[in-house]
C-alpha cells in the first residue's frame, strides 16, 4: 500500500500469546482476534502504532 | 437468510460481568441466553487473580474453596527504594482479600447463572448486531461454524476489554493512550513470596503502572506488570520491564515460569454513555475497571446485578429503550462513578510522579496510622509532612 509502512503481526504463536491487547486498543477497530489467529484490515489501518505499544510481547512490528 | 431464534435477553460474553447480568435477569423472570466465543468459560485466564471480598454478598456470590486459593491479610506497597507500606485488607483497594483461581471463579458464576435458568452457548461468537433503525434487536452469531441470528429485545455487551459490541452499537469506547495499560503476567513456581500479602511495586520499574505479586501458596505466585501505554516507547516493553524486575529480585529470579498471560486494561475515567436503544454495556467492555488498581471483577459484578435487573424490567414493560436504560446508567453510576472518577484523577497524578516522590510518599505513610485508607486520607497524611508533594493533588484534598 503506497505511503504506508509495513505492519506485521506475528500471530503464528512464535511470539503472539493471543491476549487481545492490540484488538482492544486499536482506535479504528481493525484488528481481529480468533482463538488462534490475529488479522488486521490493511485498508483501514493508519499505522498509528498503538498496537505496537499495546502488545506486551513484541509480536507486532512496524517498519 | 440465516435462521433465527429468539430470547428476551441476549448476553454476549460469559465472564463475571456477563454471568452476573444473565443470572439477575433470569432471577427477575426474563428468558436469558448467554453466548461465549470460547469453548471453555474462564479459560484461558487473563487476570492477576486478586480480589477484595466485601462486595461479594451484595451480588449474591458465596465464597467457596473451589475458587479461593488463599486469603491474604493485606497489601504491601513498595516504594522505588523498596520501603514497604503495609495496608490491612479491610482498608485496601478492590484487589486484596482473596487470591483466586479465575477459571474456577468464572465457571462458578456461569453455574449460578445456569442454575437460575440462563441458557448458555459455547463456541458461539457474535459477528454483528441486528438493528432496526437505531434499535439493536439482537446479534448475528456463529456457533460451531453455523451462522444464525438471535433476536432479543435486550442485548448486553459483556465482551471484555477488546469489546466489539460497544463499537458496533456506536457507543464511544475508545481510550486515550494514557488510559490504557499493557499487561503481562507469569505464574511462577519455586518463588519466595509472603502468603500474607499481595505486593505492589511502584515507580520506574513499571512506568505509570506497577509490578504485582499475588501469592497462591506452596511457592506459587502470579508475578505481573502493567505499564501505561503512553509511557511505552518500543515493542514488547511490558515483557522487558517484567523480566528486568524478576532478574533483580532473587526471590523470583530463581523461580520457574509455568504460565504466561497478557492483555489490555483500561485505566480511564467512566464512559459518558454505556447504553443505547436495545443495548447495555457492562464490565470491562463498559470501561468499569478501577483506574488506580486495575481491578475489574468487583465493579463488573456490581454493575452486572443492576444491569440484569434493569434488563428483565425492560422486557416485562416492553421498554428496551435508551431512555429506560437510564435506570441502569444511573444505578451503576450512583454505586461506582465517584470512586472511578477520583481514582482516575489520582492515577493521572501518580503516573507522572518521579521515583523520589514515591519514596517520600511511602516514607510519610509509614509514619502515620490511617483510620481508613482512601486516596483522600493518604493525601491528607502526606500533606502534613510533605506539602510540596501534595501540591499537585490539591483538587483531591
Pick the residue of B263, B283, B296 with the most A CBs within 10 A to test the interface with A by mutation. Answer: B263
Q: How far is A63 from chain B (nearest CA, A)?
A: 12
Q: Per the CB < 8 Å rule, is A35 touching B38?
A: yes
Which residues in chain B show pLDDT less than 70?
Answer: 89-96, 369-374, 392, 395-397
Q: How far is A31 from chain B (nearest CA, A)?
A: 10
- Give pLDDT, residue B396: 66
Which helix (H) or strand (E) is A52 found in, with range? helix A50-54
Give SS3 for A62: strand
Residues 6 or more apart in contact with residue B75 via CB below 8 angstroms: B86, B87, B89, B92, B93, B95, B96, B197, B198, B199, B200
Q: How far is A2 from chain B (nearest CA, A)?
A: 24
| Nearest Cβ partner for A21 among B38, B182, B260 | B182
Which residues 1-60 of A are in CB contact (within 8 Å) with B? 17, 19-25, 27, 29, 33, 35, 50, 52-60
- Give pLDDT, residue A11: 77
Chain A touched by B183 (CB under 8 Å): yes
Q: For chain A, which residues make up each domain, given as ranges?
A: 7-62
The residue of chain B with its CA nearest to that of A54 is B182
Q: Per the CB < 8 Å rule, is B232 touching A53?
A: yes
Which helix (H) or strand (E) is B50 found in, with range? strand B50-51
> What does the DSSP assignment read for B319-376?
--STTTTHHHHHHHHHHHHHHHHHHHHHHHHHTT--HHHHHHHHHHHHT---SS--HH
Tell me if the domain spanning A7-62 has CATH number 3.40.50.970: no
Q: Is B3 exposed, middle or buried (0-12, 13-18, 19+ CB in 10 A)?
A: exposed
pLDDT digits (tens, 9 = 90+) for B114-141: 999 999 999 999 999 999 999 999 999 9
Going by C-alpha positions, the residue among B373, B279, B275 that lies closest to residue B330 is B275
Asked whether residue A1 carries a pLDDT value surpassing 60, the answer given is no
The residue of chain A with its CA nearest to that of B160 is A24
- Give pLDDT, residue B284: 96
Band the pLDDT of A10: cuts 50, 70, 90. confident
Q: Per the CB < 8 Å rule, is A55 touching B163?
A: no
- Give pLDDT, residue B397: 64
- Give pLDDT, residue B160: 95
- Give pLDDT, residue B96: 65
Mean pLDDT of A16-45: 89
Give B167's contacts in chain A (Cβ within 8 Å): 29
Edge-first strand order for the sheet with B135-143 is B4-6, B146-151, B135-143, B124-132
- Give pLDDT, residue B370: 67
Give A14's contacts in chain B (Cβ within 8 Å): none
- Give pLDDT, residue B13: 98
Alpha helices in chain B (DSSP H): 16-27, 56-59, 102-115, 165-168, 237-247, 250-253, 297-317, 326-350, 355-366, 375-385, 387-390
Instruction: Identify the structural domains of chain B with CATH numbers, from first to last.
Output: 4-46+104-174+271-345 (3.50.50.60), 71-98+176-266 (3.30.9.10), 347-396 (no CATH)
Q: Per the CB < 8 Å rule, is B239 touching A56?
A: yes
Amino acid at each position: 500500500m503506497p505511503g504506508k509502512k509495513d505492519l506485521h503481526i506475528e500471530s503464528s504463536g512464535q511470539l503472539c500469546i493471543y491476549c487481545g491487547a492490540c484488538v482492544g486498543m486499536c482506535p479504528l477497530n481493525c484488528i481481529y482476534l480468533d482463538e488462534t489467529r490475529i488479522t488486521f484490515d490493511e485498508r483501514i489501518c493508519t499505522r498509528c502504532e498503538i498496537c505496537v505499544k499495546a502488545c506486551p510481547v513484541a509480536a507486532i512490528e512496524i517498519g | 437468510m440465516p435462521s433465527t431464534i429468539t430470547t428476551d435477553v441476549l448476553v454476549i460474553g460469559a465472564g463475571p460481568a456477563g454471568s452476573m447480568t444473565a443470572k439477575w435477569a433470569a432471577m427477575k423472570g426474563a428468558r436469558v441466553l448467554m453466548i461465549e466465543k470460547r469453548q471453555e468459560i474462564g479459560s484461558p485466564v487473563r487476570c492477576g487473580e486478586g480480589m477484595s471480598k466485601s462486595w461479594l454478598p451484595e451480588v449474591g456470590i458465596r465464597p467457596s474453596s473451589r475458587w479461593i486459593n488463599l486469603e491474604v491479610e493485606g497489601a504491601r506497597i513498595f516504594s522505588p527504594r523498596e520501603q514497604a507500606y503495609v495496608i490491612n485488607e479491610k482498608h485496601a483497594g478492590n484487589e486484596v482479600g482473596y487470591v483466586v483461581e479465575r477459571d474456577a471463579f468464572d465457571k462458578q458464576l456461569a453455574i449460578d447463572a445456569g442454575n437460575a435458568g440462563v441458557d448458555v452457548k459455547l463456541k458461539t461468537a457474535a459477528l454483528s448486531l441486528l438493528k432496526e433503525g437505531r434499535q439493536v434487536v439482537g446479534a448475528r452469531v456463529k456457533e460451531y461454524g453455523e451462522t444464525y441470528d438471535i433476536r432479543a429485545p435486550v442485548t448486553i455487551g459483556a465482551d471484555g476489554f477488546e469489546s466489539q459490541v460497544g463499537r458496533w452499537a456506536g457507543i464511544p469506547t475508545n481510550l486515550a493512550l494514557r488510559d490504557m495499560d499493557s499487561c503481562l503476567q507469569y505464574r511462577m513456581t519455586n518463588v519466595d513470596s509472603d502468603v500474607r500479602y499481595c505486593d505492589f511495586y511502584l515507580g520506574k520499574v513499571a512506568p505509570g503502572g506497577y509490578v504485582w505479586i499475588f501469592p497462591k501458596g506452596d511457592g506459587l505466585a502470579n508475578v505481573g506488570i502493567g505499564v501505561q501505554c503512553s509511557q511505552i516507547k518500543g515493542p514488547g516493553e511490558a515483557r522487558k520491564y517484567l523480566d528486568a524486575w524478576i532478574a533483580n529480585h532473587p526471590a523470583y529470579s530463581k523461580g520457574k515460569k509455568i504460565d504466561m498471560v497478557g492483555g489490555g486494561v483500561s485505566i480511564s475515567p467512566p464512559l459518558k454513555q454505556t447504553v443505547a436503544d436495545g443495548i447495555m454495556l457492562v464490565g470491562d467492555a463498559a470501561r468499569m475497571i478501577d483506574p488506580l488498581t486495575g481491578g475489574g471483577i468487583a465493579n463488573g459484578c456490581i454493575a452486572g446485578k443492576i444491569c440484569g435487573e434493569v434488563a428483565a424490567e425492560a422486557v416485562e414493560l416492553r421498554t428496551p429503550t435508551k431512555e429506560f436504560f437510564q435506570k441502569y446508567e444511573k444505578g451503576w453510576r450512583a454505586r461506582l462513578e465517584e470512586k472511578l472518577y477520583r481514582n482516575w484523577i489520582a492515577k493521572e497524578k501518580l503516573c507522572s510522579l518521579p521515583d523520589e516522590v514515591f519514596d517520600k510518599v511511602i516514607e510519610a505513610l509509614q509514619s502515620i496510622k490511617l483510620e481508613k485508607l482512601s486516596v483522600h486520607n493518604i493525601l491528607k497524611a502526606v500533606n502534613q509532612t510533605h506539602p510540596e508533594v501534595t501540591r499537585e493533588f490539591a483538587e483531591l484534598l
